[in-house]
Amino acid sequence: MSFRLGLTGSIGMGKSTTAAMFADEGCAVWDADAAVHRLYSGAAVPAVGAVFPNAIVDGTVSREALKQIISSDSEALGKLEAIIHPLVRQDRARFAREAEADILVFDIPLLFETGSRDEFDAVTCVTVSPEIQRERVLARGTMTQAQFEMILAKQMPITENVALSDYVVVTDTVDHARTQVRDVVADIKRRMADA
Ligand SMILES: CC(C)(COP(=O)(O)OP(=O)(O)OC[C@H]1O[C@@H](n2cnc3c(N)ncnc32)[C@H](O)[C@@H]1O)[C@@H](O)C(=O)NCCC(=O)NCCS
Ligand SMILES: Nc1ncnc2c1ncn2[C@@H]1O[C@H](COP(=O)(O)OP(=O)(O)OP(=O)(O)O)[C@@H](O)[C@H]1O
């Protein structure tokens, strides 16, 4: 039986970068945002198109169009979540059934917010100061300040994520994060050996 480790944290705090470090340590990684990307170019197109016809561009769900819609309609993100989250859960369940590594890592931005904690043996939270978070997100140039604030408002404060997590990875530098990831993997392996 594989160990199921949830990986969460606020927008731009380093989930994907940290997930890649877990993969480097031999863990199998499932990424919720990547699942959403797959769904937007396939299975989610009819359902999203039925509610937001303007979001469909060239037969796929356009993230740019969605961001415009979300910016001008405060209920749009909630409606989008109601369509997407059940499909994301199905994708995750399939991965959990089929993956074969000793440790499975699930990179999920809204892990606690969606009430998923009980599906994991432990949870790691990534964290960095709000100043660095803002700087990193805005430096990507994919979101306006207002869009960033809107996403942030939908997420639990990072202090609560940290308090609810079994492990914390501070993503101030790559080397520091990698050391902490190795410590987490070593601790999980000890727990698995003792079980
Ligand atoms: C709002 C959208 C269009 C922004 O797309 P964009 O490519 O700019 O950003 P990306 O998808 O990489 O998301 C960046 C980060 O925003 C945060 N985020 C995304 N959606 C949400 C949400 N519904 N609530 C809170 N935070 C969110 C996460 O931390 C995520 O890692 C896109 O995130 C989306 O379609 N969201 C709805 C689906 C969803 O809830 N995804 C969250 C994981 S299941
Ligand atoms: N440990 C680290 N040290 C320095 N920079 C980092 C570290 N981890 C992540 N970063 C940088 O922070 C930015 C966001 O990282 P990443 O994409 O991994 O975050 P994320 O939480 O997956 O983002 P999102 O919520 O938008 O999906 C990137 O520019 C990345 O290079």
- The domain boundary residue, chosen from 100, 126, 158: 100
Measured at the alpha carbon of residue 42, what is the angle toward residues 41 and 46, in degrees to the nearest 5?
110
CATH code for position 162:
3.40.50.300
35 and 86 assigned to the same domain: yes
96 and 107 assigned to the same domain: no
112 and 134 assigned to the same domain: yes
- The domain boundary residue, chosen from 45, 80, 100: 100
143 and 57 assigned to the same domain: no
153 and 192 assigned to the same domain: yes
Annotated binding-site residue? 127: no
Q: Is the CB of 15 under 6 A from ligand 2?
A: yes
**Reported ipTM:** 0.94
Query: If you measure from the C-alpha of residue 137 to the centroid of ligand 2, how many angstroms do you get, rounded to a whole number?
Result: 8
Spatial distance between the Cα atoms of 111 and 20, rounded to a whole number of angstroms = 18
Identify the domain containing residue 173 by its residue range: 1-27+103-195
Cα–Cα distances (Å) from 40 to 72, 93, 116, in that order, read 21, 18, 22
Spatial distance between the Cα atoms of 193 and 195, rounded to a whole number of angstroms = 6
Annotated binding-site residue? 13: yes
Q: Is the CB of 92 under 6 A from ligand 2?
A: no
Annotated binding-site residue? 17: yes
**Residue to substitute in 90, 151, 152 for testing ligand 1 pocket (most ligand atoms within 8 angstroms of CB):** 151
157 and 86 assigned to the same domain: no
96 and 108 assigned to the same domain: no
How does pLDDT run along the chain (195 residues), one tens digit per residue? 899 999 999 999 999 999 999 999 999 999 999 999 999 999 999 999 999 999 999 999 999 999 999 999 999 999 999 999 999 999 999 999 999 999 999 999 999 999 999 999 999 999 999 999 999 999 999 999 999 999 999 999 999 999 999 999 999 999 999 999 999 999 999 999 998
pTM: 0.95
44 and 138 assigned to the same domain: no
Instruction: Locate the ligand 1 atom nearest the alpha carbon of residue 77 and give its number.
Output: 23
- The domain boundary residue, chosen from 100, 135, 153: 100
76 and 153 assigned to the same domain: no
DSSP structure string for 97-157: HH--SSEEEEE-TTTTTTT-GGGSSEEEEEE--HHHHHHHHHHHTSS-HHHHHHHHHHSPP
- Asked if residue 30 lies in contact with residue 148, where contact means CB atoms within 8 angstroms, the answer is no
123 and 161 assigned to the same domain: yes
Query: If you measure from the C-alpha of residue 132 to the centroid of ligand 2, how many angstroms do you get, rounded to a whole number?
Result: 10
35 and 8 assigned to the same domain: no
52 and 141 assigned to the same domain: no
Residues lining ligand 1, Cβ inside 6 A: 11, 32-33, 36, 63, 66-67, 70, 77, 80-81, 84, 88, 109-110, 142-143, 151, 154-155
Domains contained in the chain, number: 2
